[in-house]
Homo-oligomer: A and B are copies of this chain.
Amino acid sequence: MIPEPIRKLVDAFSRLPGVGPKTASRLVFFLLRTSEETLAQTLAEALQNLRAGIDYCPTCFNIMEAERSQCMVCADPDRKKSLICVVEDPMDVLALERTSAFQGRYHVLHGALSPIEGIGPEDLHISELLERVQNDDVEEVILATNPNMEGDATAMYLRQQLHPHDVRITRLARGLPMGGDLEYADQNTLLRALMGRQEMG
């Protein structure tokens, strides 16, 4: 009953995370109905240019435009080579850059250790990190993997691997999120906030 071109697009949209068949068909009928005749075309072209136009920085594995030889952070001489922040994903780099507070460089692992999903150290860019630490006079490595089981396991593993090198190893602070309400904080967050309490001077 549903015309083939519509069904195909609904199927494709449904494969995106958080998009069910209902949302997918709402999107398709919006594209059919909208007076922005070019939106479907614009989307199609942007999708086609995605993989072709994106490459990974050979140093830190962050995303970059394919025609560059290194990412904008690694290309910036003002960013400290001696400070490396290790993250799981390129989106984490964007989040940290939004704070405008980090003056060092990044290293993107592209994932976290997960025995359940069969992701081991050799699946992440860990050997390249150790090489950088050895060769680049790195003074501090901030382990900014996610504050969850996989992220913690990855940070523990990295600490072990980095230990023989003469480098300071830190992890992002754990505690109550800004604007949060103590009453609604989960037990583990509250426990970490208590354990990590800071002097008010």
Q: List 12 A-B contacts (CB under 8 A).
A: A5-B54, A8-B46, A13-B43, A15-B39, A17-B26, A18-B26, A25-B94, A29-B91, A40-B48, A41-B48, A43-B43, A44-B47
Q: How far is the CB of A19 from chain B (nearest CB, A)?
A: 8
* A46 B15 Cβ-Cβ under 8 A: no
CA distance A49 to B33 in the complex (A): 15
Closest to A25 in B: B91
User: A173 on the interface (CB 8 Å rule)?
Assistant: no
Number of copies: 2
User: A138 on the interface (CB 8 Å rule)?
Assistant: no
**Size of interface on A: residues with Cβ below 8 Å to B:** 52
CA distance A82 to B32 in the complex (A): 29
**Which residues of A approach B to under 8 Å, CB–CB?**
1-6, 8-9, 11-13, 15-18, 23, 25-33, 36-37, 39-54, 63-65, 72, 89-91, 94, 97
Given contact pairs A6-B54, A13-B43, A29-B91, a sample of 4 additional A-B residue pairs in the complex whose CB atoms are under 8 Å apart: A8-B49, A12-B46, A16-B31, A47-B47
Contacts of A44 in B (CB 8 A): 43-45, 47-48
* A47 B9 Cβ-Cβ under 8 A: yes
Q: Given A13-B43, A42-B12, A49 and B5 touching (CB < 8 A)? A: yes
CA distance A63 to B13 in the complex (A): 19
* A30 B48 Cβ-Cβ under 8 A: no
* B41 A47 Cβ-Cβ under 8 A: yes
CA distance A9 to B48 in the complex (A): 10
* A12 B26 Cβ-Cβ under 8 A: no
Q: Given A40-B47, A40-B48, A16 and B2 touching (CB < 8 A)? A: no
